[in-house]
């Protein structure tokens, strides 16, 4: 009688594999280890002749920024540093180094929620105080930098081969030398602002766009990964048997091909693949490729909600002067950006400079009597909507101008926006979708998303407008299953159609399942 197959949740059976060992490698780039700037290429040679855990690969580095007269801010997600990511095996391109890797990453974040590690992957913009190292970034034009080795940043997860190959523990001795190639993004992905105060608090807001492009340098570059050992030869025997009987080992993985176009209602493209699984479409905001400050995500905190932090008395009458001297301070020491309140002040006046513990410069000349009571209020901000906090918007949240995805309806149109895809003259779906319908279809096309990732329709339209079309079976990402459209015999002639949408730049990412076939003598073949 055959043994019943039980799920792991109720099974009492276990197996043991003896002789397993683990270790870690630290790899330095074949190119420079420090002083690498935006637009340059970094290459790492992955360990040869070892069992390599591809999911363990992590890239660590320090980052210093310069921005002249403006404030430079490191973007949300360290994946923003990567414009292209390619993998070579003995000089043969395995993973296509498609353009705008970082935009694809942010497009997935828009729908699925960020999976970035908050300790190393810098998942959010830092405004005034860095959550990464606790440093005070100031209120003016101070740049955000992490030069100390103990404050390094990292990339811990990947799109493409590193994040999707199955199995993900591979004997690199079966392959030619593997080389990982990273092309760094330009400094336009950074934030460039006139100051670091909360939006709505003054002329040096964090969201006031600077005009100077941020430049950055990466130092102390290294790649770290886990390697494994097995005392038994079971795996070697299985591999040899498979190659002998079939002729090759099959390693499926995800790959992406990019189309970038100025969309004016119709964009044509083609895909040639054995398994076209999804199409991701990111609609870019106007002038997204130009220097700009971070953008407040709709609904989150902006200024003009004050809380009293301290009080004092005026020490010496102020007569048409911006200099304020105080004594008898109670509470926190005033800071730049604090709102000054006293009898005679009828407009919004803030502290623009702290000259000493009792001497301050105000944003405008005032006349205040000697010994007058003065209070200092901190603008802690308030959410733009959802004041009750049910959607957790009672906090600050920013996105990079470069990574803002926004539907932009035509200026002269009052009609709804409609979207439809045509593949070889077949309409997908069979009806034209409005925005709520497009969102519903999109989320049905995504297998994994963070259910705690709360997104309003307003935010979807203005900050995270990404469409996704799925052509493969649901759940196929979790199995060794290739079920997408086969467009090899007739390359899929596709057209994205929209109505009433203003001219906008779009990034289309065709997600396909590719196959790395590994044969005897380290021979390889890539099936796209």
- pLDDT of 139 > 90? The answer is no
Omega prior to 429 cis, within 30 of 0? yes
Please give the pLDDT value at position 231.
Answer: 76
Whether the Cβ atoms of residue 72 and residue 291 lie closer than 8 Å to each other: no
Please give the pLDDT value at position 494.
Answer: 93
The gap from C-alpha 29 to its chain's centroid, in whole angstroms, comes to 24
- pLDDT of 1 > 50? The answer is no
Topology of the domain comprising 20-299+401-527:
Adenovirus Type 2 Hexon; domain 4 (2.70.9)
Instruction: In whole angstroms, give the CA distance from residue 104 to residue 83.
Output: 10
Topology of the domain comprising 306-379:
Elongation Factor Tu (Ef-tu); domain 3 (2.40.30)
Over residues 328-345, the pLDDT tens digits come to: 999 999 998 899 999 989
Region 124-138 average pLDDT: 93
| CB hemisphere CA count around 269 (13 angstroms) | 20
Print burial letters for 215-254: b (CB count within 10 Å at least 16), e (below 16).
bbbbbebbbebbbbeeeeeeeeeeeeeebeeeebbebbbb
Percent residues over pLDDT 70 in the chain: 97
Q: Between these two residues, 408 and 360, which has the higher pLDDT value?
A: 360
Q: How far is CA 284 from CA 17, 27, 92, 505, in A?
A: 51, 36, 33, 5
Over residues 449-508, the pLDDT tens digits come to: 666 678 999 999 999 999 999 999 988 877 778 888 998 877 778 999 998 888 889 999
Please give the pLDDT value at position 115.
Answer: 82
Query: For the chain, which residues make up each domain, given as ranges?
Result: 20-299+401-527, 306-379
- pLDDT of 19 > 60? The answer is yes
Over residues 400-446, the pLDDT tens digits come to: 999 999 988 766 555 677 899 999 889 999 999 999 999 999 999 99
- DSSP one-letter code for 146: B
Whether the Cβ atoms of residue 78 and residue 155 lie closer than 8 Å to each other: yes
Residue among 284, 266, 281, 268 at smallest CA distance from 407: 284
DSSP E strand boundaries for 264-331? 266-271, 276-283, 295-296, 301-302, 306-314, 318-331
Question: pTM of the entire structure?
Answer: 0.91
Over residues 96-109, the pLDDT tens digits come to: 989 999 999 999 99
Region 316-325 average pLDDT: 96
Please give the pLDDT value at position 202.
Answer: 75
Instruction: In whole angstroms, give the CA distance from residue 118 to residue 88.
Output: 30
Please give the pLDDT value at position 411.
Answer: 61
């Amino acid at each position: 009688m055959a043994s019943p197959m039980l799920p792991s949740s109720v099974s009492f059976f276990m197996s043991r594999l003896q002789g397993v060992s683990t270790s870690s490698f630290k790899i330095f780039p074949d190119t420079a280890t420090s002083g690498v700037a935006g637009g340059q290429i970094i290459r790492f040679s992955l360990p040869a002749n070892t069992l390599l855990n591809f999911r363990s690969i992590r890239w660590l580095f320090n980052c210093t920024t310069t921005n002249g007269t403006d404030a430079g801010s490191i973007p949300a997600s360290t994946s923003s540093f990567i414009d292209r990511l390619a993998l070579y095996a003995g000089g043969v391109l395995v993973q296509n180094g498609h353009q705008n890797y970082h935009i694809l990453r942010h497009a997935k974040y828009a729908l699925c929620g960020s999976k970035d590690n908050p300790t190393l992957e810098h998942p959010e913009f830092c405004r005034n105080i860095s959550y990464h190292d606790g440093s005070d970034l100031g209120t003016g034009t101070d740049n955000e930098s992490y030069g100390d080795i103990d404050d390094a940043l990292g990339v811990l997860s990947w799109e493409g081969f590193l994040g999707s190959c199955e199995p993900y523990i591979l004997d690199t001795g079966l392959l030619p030398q593997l080389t990982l190639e990273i092309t760094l993004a330009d400094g336009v992905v950074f934030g460039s602002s006139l100051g670091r105060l909360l939006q709505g608090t003054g002329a040096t807001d964090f969201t006031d766009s600077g005009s100077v492009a941020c430049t950055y340098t990466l130092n102390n570059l290294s790649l770290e990964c886990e390697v494994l050992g097995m005392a038994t030869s079971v795996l070697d025997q299985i591999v040899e048997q498979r190659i002998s009987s079939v002729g090759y080992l099959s390693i499926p993985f995800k790959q992406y091909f990019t189309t970038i176009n100025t969309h004016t209602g119709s964009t044509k493209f083609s895909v040639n693949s054995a398994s076209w699984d999804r199409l991701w479409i990111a609609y870019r905001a106007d002038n997204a490729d130009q220097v700009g400050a971070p953008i407040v995500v709709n609904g989150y905190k902006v200024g003009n909600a004050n809380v009293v932090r301290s009080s004092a008395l005026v020490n010496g009458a102020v007569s048409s002067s911006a200099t304020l001297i105080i004594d008898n301070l109670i509470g926190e020491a005033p800071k730049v950006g604090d709102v000054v309140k006293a009898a005679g002040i009828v407009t919004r006046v803030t502290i623009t400079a702290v000259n000493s513990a009792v001497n301050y410069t105000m944003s405008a000349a005032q006349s205040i009597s000697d010994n007058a009571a003065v209070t200092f209020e901190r603008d802690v901000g308030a959410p733009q909507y959802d004041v009750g906090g049910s959607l957790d918007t009672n906090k600050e949240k920013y996105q990079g101008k470069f990574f803002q995805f926004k539907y932009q309806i035509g200026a002269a149109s009052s009609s709804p926006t409609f979207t439809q895809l045509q593949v070889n003259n077949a309409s997908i779906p069979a009806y034209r979708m409005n925005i709520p319908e497009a969102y519903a279809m999109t989320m049905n096309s995504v297998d994994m998303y963070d259910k705690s990732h709360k997104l309003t329709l307003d935010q979807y339209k203005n900050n995270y407008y990404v469409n996704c079309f799925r052509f493969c079976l649901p759940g196929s990402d979790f199995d060794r299953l290739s079920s997408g459209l086969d467009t090899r015999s007739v390359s899929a002639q596709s057209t994205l159609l929209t109505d009433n949408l203003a001219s906008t730049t779009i990034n289309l990412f065709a997600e396909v399942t590719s196959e790395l076939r590994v044969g005897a003598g380290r021979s390889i073949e890539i099936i796209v």
